Structure 1
Amino acid sequence: MGSDKWKKAKQALGCILIPQTLEQNNDNINININGSVTPSERRRVSDAGVSLSSTSPSDVIRPPSPMTPTPSSQGLMRFSRTCSKSSSKQKTCAICLNSMIPGQGLAIFTAECSHSFHFNCITSNVKHGNRVCPVCRAKWKEIPFQSRTPGPREKLRGNMPSWNRNDLSTEGNHLQASEPGIYDDDDFIEEQRRVREQSVDSTSDNQRIEIRTCPEVSAIPKSISYADFTVLIHLKAPIAGSQNSRAPVDLVTVLDVSGSMAGTKLALLKRAMGFVIQHLGPHDRLSVIAFSATARRLFPLRRMNDIGRHQALQAVNSLSSNGGTNIAEGLKKGAKVMLDRKCKNPVSSIILLSDGQDTYTVMGPGGAQSRTDYNSLLPSSIQQSLQIPVHTFGFGVDHDAVAMHSISEASGGTFSFIEVESVIQDAFAQCMGGLLSVVTQELLVSVECVHPTLELRSIEAGSYFVQLTDNARLGQINVGDLYAEEDKHFLATLNIPKASINEMPLLKVNCSYRDPLTNNPISLDEVVVKIDRPETQGPGPLVVSIEVDRQRNRLRAAEAMSEAKSVAEGGDLAGAILILERCREMLSASTSTQAGDPMTVGLGNELREIQERMCNRQIYEASGRAYVLSGLSSHSWQRATARGDTTSSTSLSQVYQTTMMADMITRSQTMVFGNVPSLPVAPPRSLSQRLSPRALAYNLPR
């Protein structure tokens, strides 16, 4: 192999130490997606004196994406830099990648394998359960212990936070850090300016929620009654403020590190977490929970300033995979972090990622299902006292989509299906785009009948909680949080009687919410919906509003998806496909489709995709169920979710994407991590190819 090809190999392998003489070797080495080599190649390279490390996210080759660097990408993940060429002349710590020169006031630990690290860095690494060398993967018999009392210099540098002073206890072959009984060691929230330049009363229109209404038809003759008349209620959230004027976030990530996450999945997860850490601000706080057979808190709720980011990256980089999958235990730890915290940021959320079936709470010891209540995985505190949304991510084709969807639905979060492992970072980026742009909280929409003869028949609001009074004259929709520029559409139906008046007022709509930044309540002026009541009907039939028809089609499609899933779960895939086909025919004949409405066309394409994923039991089990559930989550909350291969594969998925979400996905796709070479773009794949195993190998050019 020529020297230029070896340069590409070294770039792809990231942290590999290659002696100069090895560059003259003519043997070819095949590198797969996680930067690893085959066992025979590993032995051959190892014999030549090369040390292979497979734990760092920098070893992962990201699939094809635009590689344009951005200013925000500089210095994202310190552990993604290249190691020194010779371990014998090591000048930097392999964990923090800072200078490691004697005499600088920091202790240096040299392990039995001869690799050296900052003492504080390696004790933190050991604290998280690792007793193998981060560079050569040698198993250590002797490990460093950190004394309880840090020195003055360590206190000054912030290298030894209180959460890191716990004793280490040995259980079997694993080291575990003892955890406090109460998680009240969260970082203090500094007093922030919560008063904008303008008072709430004088807030400009573009900083308030916009309410629009649209009746199904604008006029109904006096002599005609109209059953199930529909009124569209459209809410538009205000635009996002600057980084310094948005609501800070408390985020807890609950990450599956069971044995099935080994290799590529874990490395991609570390990289995605690096993206999350990089894009949290100094007032945002992050905690990391890792779970397999048990759960442990790797990182308390800490502010993401420079020190917090560095230590968060260090904790994430220490993740290793083994054991079973105990989702309930992981969520219990995450809920405890939120419950025990001393202070709270305005926005709180939990992110849960898992690639497998829960083998402890839902499944019995022998693998038999012990209960069908998937909500048992979700601590009651999250639903009742905390009311914190859990955004779930089903990773790969082996996860329990029903469990993940149930958890998200019960908590008010969304469920995303990550079919292709490489898009995990984009999926996280899209979710972060929403969490970092919350502009309203506790949003409550009231819909009240105006004319004395009217009653509300229903309010269609998806998964949002709706309550009607006994006399059906008043209804309320509990919307909660809104992301910047987010749209919500609700349909109120009522029966219109005959009338003798020229203009009939139908409904009045108003809403109230709390500004998360100022914590002040805001109430908007009510909007009244009216229709004309002429003596006679004009020429031709009544023309239905395309806006109303579009939203009715969305609800029809979601209902068909839900019904088809129920039939498919009963074993009748042919019946499920027939339900979807009938809905597609109905959409094709609708007013909005005839007008070329992009959303309705996208709904038809989505139903066709689901039909393909229900063509046989194997495909349905592998991806059809998860694809349907992620779609239902998206439509019921009117919020973007990752679907299948990517977060933006169809125009339909972009309907719910906000500007901030799209921007974060672009950042994710253009972020450059270390020296990762561009890879050839693979040709488009058929559905059967997309459902094949994801262990795709990339070979260097010969």
Structure 2
Amino acid sequence: MGSKWKKAKVALGLNLCMFVPRTLDDESPPPSTVVSERLSDASLLSSRQTTPVQSFNGLKLSKSSSKSSKQTCSICLNKMKQGSGHAIFTAECSHSFHFHCIASNVKHGNQICPVCRAKWKEIPLSGASLDPIQGRVSPSPINWPQNDALMAVVHRLPLPHPRRDLNRRHIVPLYQASEPGVFNDDEPLNHQPQPALPERSTSGKSTEDTDSVRAMEIKTYPEVSATPRAKTHSNFTVLVHLKATAAAAAERQNLSRNQASLTQISQTPRAPVDLVTVLDVSGSMSGTKLALLKRAMGFVIQNLGSNDRLSVIAFSSTARRLFPLSRMTDSGRQLALQAVNSLVANGGTNIAEGLRKGTKIVEDRKEKNPVASIILLSDGQDNYTVSGSGTDQPQPNYHLLVPNSISGRDNSGFQIPVHAFGFGADHDASSMHSISEISGGTFSFIETEAVLQDAFAQCIGGLLSVVVQELQVGIECVHPSLGLVSLKAGSYPSRLVADGRKGFIDVGDLYADEERDFLVSVNVPATSGNETSLIKVTCAYKDPLTQEIAVLESEEVKIERPEIAGQVVMSLEVDRQRNRLQAAEAMAQARVAAEQGDLTGAVSILENCRKTLSETVSAKSHDRLCMALDAELKEMQERMVSRHVYEASGRAYILSGLSSHSWQRATARGDSTDQSSLVQAYQTPSMVEMLTRSQAMLLGSPSGQRFLQPLLSLRSQPSPR
């Protein structure tokens, strides 16, 4: 029992309930007593006292916890002891792991520590040596630095030992009650009055003309400011630039502070979220992957607000809802952490069933938060629904994975984005990308297991900052002889109506400070006047908090028409977006060539695009986006050097890039979500802030410790029933 107490005390810093895996030496109790072994931190504290000792920066740990951490694998939290028959790997960064725990993390050559992100010069499968007598792999002695005591506070969850697989039948998952036929048991929303907005003026063309709380900005840029009167253009380009500002949210916050008569006003002006996470817990997720998934989910749970609601679907061969859509209050968080901690990896991969059940939760809910989204994570391929065999179906039909209500096949108008995360080298990038594309979400490629939490952090940083919903952009020709030629909007649905005189782009939700750029092509006739009015832009959108509809109009876009034009200067803004679209098109073409087996042709397509971009106005001006596109195209070329490399990472990297550029939204790509990376052109301040918070937790910085104090303060609260 002593060893169990050591593990329990290590888990105390997690502020969540845990279970102690059985050993072969334990007597098997009746099933009714098994659940009681998932001891809450409160019950542990009340039943056994520990003497606190001062650790770094004021963080207190028990003596026994600090002592035992030096003999504990930082992935599975099981004891490490020489001569026990299990190899031990200690990296040069001094973090120690069981060999079998770290093996899955480095089998593809990954040389980054999953704890501190240090790059290793030696990896267990190649550079380290194994002592068959001691059962130890170690280029350096075990030396757990004092700074890593913080990692006991981050979501390091105990896993069953591989040799105890026979005892997994004794682990009774939480929430064993049968699932209802209709998921309408969501927890009621916390209805709170919102501060009144300033009265809108009814005069003028727009409901926002005099509104001090403006959530949208519109800017337009013609490709050139002047063109000769006698000259006609069959494909003249105008850039429509949109930005969702955080000014409205800040204004609401100021109003709420100044209106003392209003009570129970939310301290955060953002729109609350209904989030459903659909998590792969198949057999391939065992070991490091499941441990890091639990840690990442712990981060998500701790960063959701009390008005946000969460539900978790775990799927393998089948899918199961761990708990209903619940508000993330203190008790809600503890219940969610308990459920995540109970996950055990086994079985196959049934993505379609997981998505079906996750979608059903969103569809059946009685009450609705303004924002709703699904996060899907998988490290494998669906082996239950999709099949690419047969002469009549050379490619898998990935639409079979997506419920009709998400794909729009049932014409219900129901649209919930699925943000898909492909985990590791063995996931089906094509299916995950298709799921996200069909639903209006993004696809992220998590190549290195250690950045899973950062990838989740970036995603929820956006979801927790939605300021505009159901945005529709209208473009209308002003000059009677003008006509729209095309709307280049990426993956956003667009259409031309009224004989090409009007066009519309359906954008949907925007995060705070997100920007969208659309290229509008028009035919410009000759004229005898001094100027030509081209188009005007109208934005109609819904405020997610007040549910009010707002309309904003731009000024008319005009160009000068002199008799003889002087030197023509191309707009840098227009050229920059042309480069983005051209690079995205090259990526798509290269992917098609690679899927057909022509890797040489794919590399050539990317190389030609790089040469074309290097000759543009943006490149010569050292534009940052143009430099980022060149770096990204080069990275894709390197991931196409062989069929093996392309299958392992090239396909997923390209698809994640296509997802990012087509939606103009940040995705995790490769082994980093660092905001300093050139490919992260679409990160918002909210995403960067959440990423910084995630990395501070992992690195044990003072800011990370300050963030963790609310988590630690929950120790004294009783475990929820």
8 Å CA contact 1:35, 1:60 repeated in 2: no
Which one of 251, 275, 284 corresponds to residue 299 of structure 2? 275
Equivalent position SS for 2:396: coil
| 1:40–1:254 CA distance, 2 compared to 1 (3 A) | closer
Work out whether 1:214 is the aligned partner of 2:275: no
Identical-pair percentage = 55
Render the CA deviation track for 1:157-183: whole Å, top value 9, x for unaligned: xxxxxx95xxx5xxxxxxxx4211111
How many aligned positions are there?
570
Aligned counterpart, 1:570: 596
Render the CA deviation track for 1:651-685: whole Å, top value 9, x for unaligned: 43332000000111111111159999x9xxxxxxx
How far apart are the structure 2 equivalents of 1:675 and 1:235? 37
Aligned counterpart, 1:9: 70
Equivalent position SS for 1:618: helix
TM superposition shift of 1:549: 0.2
Which one of 224, 227, 243 corresponds to residue 234 of structure 2? 227
User: 2:425 is matched by which residue type in structure 1?
Assistant: V
How far apart are the structure 1 equivalents of 2:513 and 2:611? 33
Work out whether 1:634 is the aligned partner of 2:660: yes
8 Å CA contact 2:433, 2:655 repeated in 1: yes
- Equivalence map 1:180-579=2 (5 Å): 180-199=180-199, 205=212, 207-239=214-246, 241=250, 244-363=268-387, 372-384=396-408, 385=412, 386-538=414-566, 540=567, 542-579=568-605
Which one of 682, 685, 709 corresponds to residue 656 of structure 1? 682
How far apart are the structure 2 equivalents of 1:491 and 1:238? 21
TM superposition shift of 1:641: 0.2
How far apart are the structure 1 equivalents of 2:178 and 2:161? 22
How far apart are the structure 1 equivalents of 2:164 and 2:644? 41
TM superposition shift of 1:568: 1.1
Render the CA deviation track for 1:389-415: whole Å, top value 9, x for unaligned: 000000001110100000000000000
Equivalent position SS for 2:307: coil
TM superposition shift of 1:616: 1.2
Render the CA deviation track for 1:414-435: whole Å, top value 9, x for unaligned: 0000011110100000000110
| 1:206–1:599 CA distance, 2 compared to 1 (3 A) | farther
Aligned counterpart, 2:35: none
Render the CA deviation track for 1:511-558: whole Å, top value 9, x for unaligned: 1100000111111133210001111111x3x11100000000000000
Aligned counterpart, 1:61: 115
> Normalised by the size of structure 2, how large is the TM-score?
0.73
8 Å CA contact 1:326, 1:360 repeated in 2: yes
| 1:249–1:142 CA distance, 2 compared to 1 (3 A) | closer
TM superposition shift of 1:200: 5.3
8 Å CA contact 2:632, 2:679 repeated in 1: no
How far apart are the structure 2 equivalents of 1:4 and 1:342? 45
8 Å CA contact 2:278, 2:374 repeated in 1: yes
| 1:660–1:438 CA distance, 2 compared to 1 (3 A) | same
Which one of 684, 691, 700 corresponds to residue 665 of structure 1? 691
How far apart are the structure 2 equivalents of 1:650 and 1:233? 27
How far apart are the structure 2 equivalents of 1:633 and 1:383? 17
8 Å CA contact 2:443, 2:659 repeated in 1: yes
TM superposition shift of 1:227: 2.8
Larger RCO, structure (CA 8 Å, separation 6 or more): 1
Equivalent position SS for 1:524: strand
Render the CA deviation track for 1:613-632: whole Å, top value 9, x for unaligned: 11111111111111110000
Greater shift, 198-207 or 398-407, is seen at 198-207
User: 2:533 is matched by which residue type in structure 1?
Assistant: P
How far apart are the structure 2 equivalents of 1:144 and 1:456? 63
How far apart are the structure 1 equivalents of 2:378 and 2:168? 30
8 Å CA contact 2:591, 2:651 repeated in 1: yes
How far apart are the structure 2 equivalents of 1:613 and 1:579? 14
User: 2:117 is matched by which residue type in structure 1?
Assistant: P
TM superposition shift of 1:223: 1.7
Equivalent position SS for 2:652: helix
Equivalent position SS for 2:557: strand
TM superposition shift of 1:226: 2.2
| 1:410–1:35 CA distance, 2 compared to 1 (3 A) | farther
How far apart are the structure 2 equivalents of 1:351 and 1:446? 31
- Runs of 5+ in structure 2 lacking a partner? 1-63, 103-112, 120-145, 202-207, 254-266, 705-721
8 Å CA contact 2:419, 2:442 repeated in 1: yes
Equivalent position SS for 1:228: strand
How far apart are the structure 1 equivalents of 2:402 and 2:169? 39
Render the CA deviation track for 1:266-323: whole Å, top value 9, x for unaligned: 0000000000000000000000000011111112100000110000000000011011
TM superposition shift of 1:194: 3.3
8 Å CA contact 1:356, 1:398 repeated in 2: yes
Provide the alpha-carbon RMSD of the alignment. Answer: 3.7
8 Å CA contact 1:249, 1:435 repeated in 2: yes
> Normalised by the size of structure 1, how large is the TM-score?
0.75
| 1:458–1:330 CA distance, 2 compared to 1 (3 A) | same
Which one of 586, 608, 628 corresponds to residue 582 of structure 1? 608
8 Å CA contact 2:466, 2:510 repeated in 1: yes
TM superposition shift of 1:23: 11
User: 2:618 is matched by which residue type in structure 1?
Assistant: S
